Amino acid sequence: LAGVFAEPVLAGRRVLLTAGPTREPLDPVRYITNRSSGKMGFALAAVAAAAGAEVTLVAGPCALPTPAGVHRIDVETAEQMYAEVQRHVAGQDVFIGCAAVADYRPAEAVAGKIKRSGADLKLHLVPNPDILAAVAARAEDRPFTVGFAAETDRVLEHASDKRRRKGLDLIAANRVGPGLGFDTDDNQLELIWDGGHRQLGPGPKSALAAELITQIAQCLQDDKP
Ligand code: CTP
Ligand code: CA
């Protein structure tokens, strides 16, 4: 990434991100999770730091090194991720929700291992808080709020609905499915914001991250120079 940012486009800005999956325990040895390598969020954190920002990264379990200059906070569950984001959101200029947050968690995590029986097993799941929507809904001290949308079909339509519903400044949509989006180094994104839309890639996640950070810096500059 060296050389990508000749200009420190985020100098003096503070950026908070979520990345990776969350893990919702069923019992001490099992959990429900989402498919996510964390690569896109970590690439964004690295690029934002290289662009001069003070970067805080709230990361679910992922096997990736902490990018240079990034303050990393490790969490497991969506509720923990929500709590850390709430703790750090004040005073941020940008929030990027890149994590694949589990939409539901088991109503209760069983203390001992669930034992096998011949019978069906029903899981009772309850909804997790929407971390991104909560940031976007802040009445005061609201950062420029960026979300992702992983969609299997009608990508643009679903993503622009999601942007409106959650009150986001910018959404980055990608098509996911067999061989697309997950655990790969390459990706393709469709950006939608108030002023327009734009396709990024296909290309390596690190290159897309650099382009997305440049676009965010441009929007910030237009908003509050
Ligand atoms: N997100 C979040 N907290 C949640 C669920 C999602 O912060 N509990 C964020 C993700 O990090 C992402 C965006 O919301 O930036 C969209 O996630 P996605 O799963 O595509 O949207 P949902 O609103 O959960 O809708 P659905 O899964 O039904 O498509
Ligand atoms: Ca979801």
**Mean pLDDT for the stretch of residues 203-225:** 91
For the segment 17-60, what is each residue's pLDDT rounded down to a tens digit?
999 999 999 999 999 999 999 999 999 999 999 999 999 999 99
Could you say which ligand is closest to the alpha carbon of residue 173? 1
Q: Is the pLDDT of residue 5 over 70?
A: no
DSSP per-residue codes, 163-222: HHHHT-SEEEEEE-BTTBSSS-SEEEEEEEETTEEEEEEEEEHHHHHHHHHHHHHHHHHH
Identify the top-confidence range among 173-177, 178-182, 184-188. 173-177
**Ligand 1: nearest atom to the Cα of 165:** 23
- The pLDDT of residue 208 is 94
Bridging pattern class, strands 104-106 and 54-59: unpaired
Atom 24 of ligand 1: nearest residue by CA position: 103
* Average pLDDT, integer, range 166-195: 84
- Asked if residue 130 has its Cβ within 6 Å of ligand 1, the reply is yes
Average pLDDT over residues 185-212: 90
Mean pLDDT computed over every residue of the chain: 93
Helix 205-223, helix 39-50: angle, nearest 10: 50
65 is known to lie in a ligand binding site: no
Q: pTM here?
A: 0.94
For residues 28 and 42, is the Cβ–Cβ distance under 8 A?
no
Q: What is the mean pLDDT of residues 193-220?
A: 93
Q: What is the pLDDT of residue 181?
A: 60
Cβ–ligand 1 contact at 16 (below 6 Å): no
Phi first, then psi: give them for residue 222, nearest 5 degrees.
Answer: -70, -35
pLDDT at residue 110, rounded to an integer: 84
31 lines ligand 1 (CB under 6 A): no
The residue to mutate among 85, 162, 171, 216, having the most atoms of ligand 1 within 8 angstroms of its beta carbon, is: 162
pLDDT digits (tens, 9 = 90+) for 48-99: 999 999 999 999 999 999 999 999 999 999 999 999 999 999 999 999 999 9
